[in-house]
Amino acid sequence: MNLIWIGLFIILILIEIFTVGLTTIWFAIGSLAAAAANTLGANLIIQVIVFLAVSVILLIFTRPWAAKHLNRNRIRTNYESKIGEIIRITEKVDNLNQSGKSVVDGQEWTVRSHKDSEILETGDLAKIVAISGVKLIVEKYEEETL
């Protein structure tokens, strides 16, 4: 049975190497734990329980930390690179009336305010704080005067 658990470990590690999704690594570690349980004489049901328990516990408790700290230098996608950018509003932003537009890098975007009560007029400057689907989420930006 150890050969099966070690074989599963190798397969899962290879999947992790090719996908770098930080998902299968936890199940690979779970398969090593199951192999250890087998070595200690546990029956198949106990081995499967150990595999699942270790895998799920690692997935739930360590994946968020690992994803945050191990992916620091990943390249942001085009839209993510827009967060923090200052834009000019081209159509009044009013969440209640579902209006608002801006042009960013030659493309027109739907714009919504971060706060429903905040209305931005045409020509106002706004800072992109998030992107939700195809909408820029912004907050009013005031130019600093020196």
Domains assigned to the chain: 2-70 (no CATH), 80-140 (2.40.50.140)
- Report pLDDT for 30: 96
Q: Would the pLDDT of 122 be above 90?
A: yes
- Report pLDDT for 76: 54
Average model confidence (pLDDT) across the chain: 87
Parallel, antiparallel, or unpaired for β 135-140 and 107-113? parallel
Per-residue CA distances from 126 to 39, 66, 72, 84, 135 (Å)? 62, 33, 27, 10, 14
Return the DSSP state at 144: -
Q: Quick check: pTM over 0.85?
A: no
Tell me the mean pLDDT in the region 110-136.
92
